[in-house]
Structure 1
Amino acid sequence: MLVAALAACTSSTGAPAAPIFTEQRGPTGTVPAGLERFYGQSLTWGDCVRFAQTASDESTLKAKDARCTRLTVPLDYAKPDGATITIGILRVQAKDQDRRIGSVLVNPGGPGASGLTSAIRLAGQAKDSELGKRFDFVGFDPRGIGSSEPAIRCLTDQERDAERAEDDELDSSPEGVARVEAEQRDYANKCVQRTGDGVEMLANMGSRDVAKDMDVLRSALGDEKLTYIGYSYGTRLGSMYAETFPKNVRALVLDGALDPDQNVVDELVAQGEGFQKAFDAFTQWCVKRQDCALGQDQGRVLQGYWDLLRPLIDRPLDTGENGRKLSYSDATTGVIQSLYAEELWETLNNGLSELKRQRATTLMMLADTYFERDQNGHYSTTQDAFTAVRCVDDPRVTDKALVLEAQQRYKQAAPFLDDGKPASPALDACAFWPAPNTSQPHVPQIQGLPPVLVVSTTGDPATPYQAGVNLAKALGGGLLTYEATQHTAFLQGNRCVDDAGSAYLVDLTVPPAGLRCS
């Protein structure tokens, strides 16, 4: 029900700002004891630009049909009367309010990625379909991420630039390992010092707590049951929600799945295999072109690639931009960024061709895109949030023998990412994290879950196809196979995938078994 409507405001530029209004639609559905004030809270909606974290966000969040608010949740659900935090929320309302079914929550994964801009993009993609007409698209920045407060912050912009410029992790000598581990310990300490609520915030950053935030949001939006689209790491959130609140699920689309039972080492190796498969597909496309930076001989492309990138380990390439240099790790990151979708292969070939001419513009641009660095040198908090979430979602690895084995297996799985140096046993930041893990990989055991839909892409480099097969089996859900080389598929322009997923969300009709789209 509508509680209050406030007058429109005027922005600092003199243009009319979005009207501000407050509504209360909850509590709806099951409300856990002690959390009534959160589940029944009113939401005040207004302009979204104030939620922007980057210049790119600011442009996107100016969308005229988007409204934003803040959801209040407990910092620690074990202490519902204790400290609270806020979650950034964006909504694009259904085009046909008379036939509106409810809200569909969306999460783009990461972990650490903002859901606000994703919701605008997906709503635009679906605006002319039954999905867009009958659902409000709701994006949220998970706790500690993006516009949510407090936000995880570990490194300054200057420190992030400096970290990227170094290739310390390639030094496997005892001195090199000690230096890397000292840097990782310092990183964990900075996360504590620079994040509001310190250790307590870092201890409650995981998917366990985000799933509970999603249920509070479901109720506050007035939805008895949750409808959700989760991409990549967002599939873990969906799976966690299903385990925690199975009776509150209406429909889940889980696209680009993480294997629910895969430990962090096996997941790393499987991802390496996925990126190698995507790299091989790129080179097969490239060698057919006269301008291929790696030549026309498929048997020599890997050596040609190594010859281009490995010299950067000892001689980073000046970019001509305020003293910035392209390091080996940045060049590799740029390549990985371009392997997420076939549409970026042309850009990758251009970047490798430039590197042959001792130019670094394109590969650095791709790396900056991956790290979400804008032209002013400002970074989003995505990378810090990624680390914070993974450090409490998975058991920490402190066995150096296991770390060494993982690095060796990774190089074997992805030869194009082999730097030619001995593998290093250096521990990462999670080994020094100040809080214990709150969950771990496992096969979900869920009773009473309605049918869900898993979308898995055969050539997905980041979340390999088999992971989707395994998740669909674990959840007893349907599996839609997309035959392509890219990361995730739903609402990205393939009519077969989009129609099947939309029909499921609107009508709860699971696609026929064995459906394959291309």
Structure 2
Amino acid sequence: MEIINKITFSQSLVALAITSVLSGCGGGGSDDFESNKGDLISGCPTNLTCDYLSVAKDYDNPQQGNVNIFYGVHKARVPSERLGILVFNFGGPGGSAVSGASYMVSQWLPSTILDRFDVIGMDPRGSGQSAFAKELTACAVANDCTQVNRDFAHYMGSNSVVKDLDSLREALGEEKLNFLGYSYGTRLGSLYANMFPQNVRAIVLDSPMPPKSNNYIDLRIDNAKGYDAVADYRLITPERKKRLEAVANDIYVNGVYVDKYGSSLSVDKGRILLSKLSSRDPSKEFSDMKSSLFSFLDNDYLNNLLGDLSISNGNSPTDDDYRSSAMFQTVVCTDERVPVESNEVANYQNSYQQASAIYGPMNYQDTASMCVDWPGERDSIEHVEHVERMDQVLSGQKILVIGGKYDPATPYIWAEQMKQSFGTLAVTTTVTNRVDHGFSYSGIDCVDSQTTAYLLDPTQTLSDKSCLGTYSSSFNFFNPEYPAKTHPAKTVSGF
């Protein structure tokens, strides 16, 4: 997993009226109010009102006490037309949501949504100002989270976060939940629909994870397929694809590729090439090397390409980047249904290779062992497949699934699987010509109009829709009060 540079924003201190003192407990993820009061004040964006929600540390064993979950709310601007709460999650697992919700309010959401919904971000356990974030940060910076995972990983899995979402809904006095999840957030949204179908009003699953997976290896094999689809799309001709497969094989087998002029493509440079080839359109990493890459693949001339593969130092990782990476591993490994033992890992090597001759071997080397010998107790997630039960409980509303045909982070096959899992309950929107990730409320009118129509009335008849991934010419990317920011779903590392 790569560490993606984070966007930052300035936060002013705000005065908050605290109406209650939350009950305390010990043993990690402290629920003590006084110790968290400073975080509550300093961690709240100026356009939200924030508070802590006290929830069970372990929903199966509530006698273990409570922990604090941090959340922020932007109230509906037209109370007389209010439709309820709209909770956001921007992916990861590892990303916080309160700051992201602030960005959405200030920059991305249309007036119709801001007028009619309380927009909410809830920092999942292990992130932002919520329980276990401090423990994860400390161990991640020290580069040893073994003991923290042994002690607390069981409380940070997706099942607990989904139950926190429902606890938040209940605490706010809402009968139903509206939820928009990006990437890993779609795991939370689909699990919520599966676990609490009676409490669903509307759920948007943007750039879905698969509704059924057994372990991290399953996810990364599918990722290799997604990268391969992007390579197909960008290389244009099958001849270039076959040529790159041969080059990749030389590098994997011999550690180097040498062109007919004697120039060499090393393993490190090869990794940079593959990263740029599967990069998202807005980064321009692929477009900047497209000409030299095609020249190499068409003419076996490396020299110009090597210049385009220079390593950028970028920004040094922050403590929060380390925490995010640690949380990614903690949650993904805790969620596993069928863990892979160390003596079984090699059995999956061919599956990676079959998924992509270009990306498979690299993905295998980088990811196959991440959850092996996991020290923590698992809290396995269920497959989302009980469509009949959800169909009986839901009151005519649908589930909106948004997928990118060439999404390099969550491959399109996962959007197709999510649609199949929800059956007749699913309405899909597909972005057809853009290599990107996280599409709703990012300035693509075709996607945004469908999403807004669905959220306003999830029971109306909406048809499946295909959208070109082009930004609206009228979209305002700059707000003088809140300078334009990168969409929060596009800055989270992981899924």
- Is the pair's TM-score, using the shorter chain for normalization, greater than 0.5? yes
The answer to whether the 8 Å contact 2:340/2:371 transfers is: no
Distance 1:284 1:262 in 2: 31
The one-letter amino acid of 1:270's match is: D
Q: Which residue of 2 aligns with 1:379?
A: 321
Residue 405, structure 1, aligned to residue 355, structure 2: no
Residue 482, structure 1, aligned to residue 431, structure 2: yes
Deviation for aligned residue 1:462: 2.4
Distance 2:130 2:463 in 1: 39
CA gap of 1:246–1:441, structure 2 versus 1, over 3 A, is closer
Deviation for aligned residue 1:439: 2.2
Distance 1:205 1:281 in 2: 37
CA gap of 1:306–1:221, structure 2 versus 1, over 3 A, is farther
**Secondary structure, counterpart of 2:321 in structure 1:** coil
Q: Which residue of 2 aligns with 1:467?
A: 414
Q: Which residue of 1 aligns with 2:145?
A: 191
**Secondary structure, counterpart of 1:496 in structure 2:** helix
Distance 2:98 2:276 in 1: 21
Distance 1:437 1:107 in 2: 20
The answer to whether the 8 Å contact 1:229/1:252 transfers is: yes
Distance 2:363 2:190 in 1: 38
Residue 494, structure 1, aligned to residue 444, structure 2: yes
The answer to whether the 8 Å contact 1:451/1:478 transfers is: yes
The one-letter amino acid of 1:79's match is: N
Q: Which residue of 2 aligns with 1:83?
A: 65
TM-score normalised according to structure 2 size? 0.71
Distance 1:474 1:418 in 2: 27
Deviation for aligned residue 1:81: 3.5
Deviation for aligned residue 1:356: 1.8
CA gap of 1:497–1:16, structure 2 versus 1, over 3 A, is closer
Distance 1:311 1:349 in 2: 28
Give the share of equivalent positions with the same residue, in percent. Answer: 27
Distance 1:150 1:125 in 2: 30
TM-score normalised according to structure 1 size? 0.68
Give the number of aligned pairs: 415
Deviation for aligned residue 1:517: 1.5
The one-letter amino acid of 2:82's match is: R
Alignment of 1:333-352 (within 5 A): 336=275, 339-346=278-285, 349=288
Residue 438, structure 1, aligned to residue 380, structure 2: yes
Alignment of 1:113-512 (within 5 A): 113-151=95-133, 152-153=136-137, 155-157=139-141, 159=143, 190-193=144-147, 195=148, 199-264=150-215, 265-284=217-236, 300-301=243-244, 332=271, 336=275, 339-346=278-285, 349=288, 356-357=306-307, 360-362=310-312, 364-365=313-314, 373-374=316-317, 379-400=321-342, 402-417=344-359, 427-445=369-387, 446-447=389-390, 448-449=393-394, 450-475=397-422, 476-484=425-433, 485-510=435-460, 512=462
**Secondary structure, counterpart of 1:379 in structure 2:** helix
Deviation for aligned residue 1:204: 2.0
Distance 2:269 2:176 in 1: 43
Q: Which residue of 1 aligns with 2:23?
A: none
Distance 2:122 2:363 in 1: 41
Q: Which residue of 1 aligns with 2:25?
A: none
Distance 1:425 1:341 in 2: 21
Residues 252-291 of structure 1: CA deviation (Å, up to 9, x unaligned): 0011112212333443222111012223334449x9xxxx
Deviation for aligned residue 1:21: 2.5
- Unaligned 5+ segments in structure 2 are 1-9, 21-32, 258-265, 294-302, 469-495
Residues 175-214 of structure 1: CA deviation (Å, up to 9, x unaligned): xxxxxxxxxxxxxxx4243x3xx63421122111111100
Distance 1:21 1:354 in 2: 61
Distance 2:429 2:37 in 1: 36
**Secondary structure, counterpart of 1:258 in structure 2:** coil
Deviation for aligned residue 1:239: 1.4
Deviation for aligned residue 1:490: 1.1
What's the Cα RMSD here? 4.0
